[in-house]
Amino acid sequence: MKEKYTCYLNEDTYMSMMYMDDAVEATIKLMEADPSKLSIRTSYNIQSMEFTPAQMAQEVRKHYPDM
């Protein structure tokens, strides 16, 4: 496997990522939550993980060290 990918972000730019299933599940749970137990009802920031292009490249190199 010798394909190349060019990332147009700076190597230290953080990217927020989330599995779609997790996003849907979190949204449904929030919509079904008891309003009296929520301090804010108008907006929430649902977040999962974040990493930089440099961190992603480092992890890929663990599995493909010759790239």
pLDDT in tens, the chain (67 residues): 577 888 899 999 999 999 999 999 999 998 899 989 888 877 888 889 999 999 999 999 999 888 7
pLDDT of residue 1: 57
The domains of the chain are located at 15-63
* Dihedral pair phi/psi, residue 51, rounded to 5°: -155, 165
CA distances 52 to 1, 19, 57, Å, are 23, 17, 9
